[in-house]
Amino acid sequence: MFYTIKELVQQAEDLTNGSVAELMIETEYELSGRDRDEVLFLMTRNLEVMLASVTDGMTESKSVSGLTGGDAAKLDRYIKSGRALSDHTVISAARNAMAVNELNAKMGLVCATPTAGSAGCLPAIISAATEKLNLTKKDQLDFLFTAGAFGLVIANNASISGAEGGCQAEVGSASAMGAAALVMAAGGTAYQASQAIAFVLKNMLGLICDPVAGLVEVPCVKRNAMGASFAFVAADMALAGIESKIPVDEVVNAMYQVGKAMPTAFKETAEGGLAATPTGKKLAKHIFG
C-alpha cells in the first residue's frame, strides 16, 4: 500500500516494473479482497459507462432546470466546421467533458470519477486519448487504474469533495488524475506522471465550488471542459521533462490546507461566487420559486 505519491512512484518502479496500473490492481486485491478477474470486470464496467456517457450526452436536450444542455452538441458542430483554433484532441476532450456533465444534469448514467460533479473529466480525457494514441481495451483499463492510484493518494491526503475542499478538490483532482494517466498512456514514467499531477493542482489551487441554485450544472459543466483540456497540456509539459519546483506531495498538502481555509460560502453551499451574483440568484429564484 502507498500513502504518498512519492511512495506510489517508488513502489511502481520497484515492484511492478514501472506500471502504476499493475500496482493499483494489486492494491485493490489488498483493500477489497477481490481477485484479479473481478477487479478487471468492475473496471471494465466503469469504462463502458464512461464511454457511453460521452455519446449519450451529445444531444440538444436541456436539463430539467433548463440551465444546461446542448452546448456539447454545439461545440461538436464547431469542431466539424474545421474552424477550431485549439488542437483537435484538446477541443474534443472539452466537448466530451461537457457531454458527460450535461448528461449528469439530465439524470443520465455517469461514472463518478471521483465525483458526479467532476464526472466529465476522465471520460473526456480517455476518449480523446484513445483516438489520439490508438489505445487498446487493455490500455484503456490501465489508464483508469493509473488514474485511480493517483486519485487514491489525493483523496487520502487532501480531498475529492467540493463540500470539503472546493472545486479544486473535484475538477482539480479529476483533471490531475487524467493528466497522470495520460502521461503513462503516452509512454512516460511514473515520475513524469507525478509531475503532471503537480502542474494541474497548482493551476487549480483555490478553485471554489459555487453551483448556481445549488445544482451541479453552472459552472460545473464548463469547468469539466476546461479541466479536461488542462490535463493534456500538463501531460505534455511532464513528457517534455519539465519538473515542478514544489514536490507533488507538498502540492497535494497545499490543496488540503487551502480547502480547510476556504470559507464555507465557497464550498458547495451556493452562497458565494457565481451562485451569489445577481444573475445567479435570479436563476435560482426562477427554478425554485
- Burial of residue 155 (CB within 10 Å: 0-12, 13-18, 19+) is middle
Position 14 scores a pLDDT of 97
Residues 6+ apart with CB under 8 A from 220: 101, 117, 167, 171, 211
Closest CA to 98 of 110, 88, 87, 85: 110
- Report residue 209: phi and psi, to 5°: -110, 110
The C-alpha R_g of the chain, in whole angstroms, comes to: 18
CATH architecture of 8-288: Orthogonal Bundle (1.10)
Position 289 scores a pLDDT of 84
Q: Please tell me the pTM assigned to this model.
A: 0.97
CB of 49 within 8 A of CB of 43? no
Question: Chain-centre distance of CA 20, in angstroms?
Answer: 18
User: What single-letter amino acid sits at 117?
Assistant: G
All residue ranges of the chain with pLDDT < 50 are none
Tell me the C-alpha to C-alpha distance, in Å, between residue 184 and each of 5, 43, 172, 178.
15, 18, 19, 10
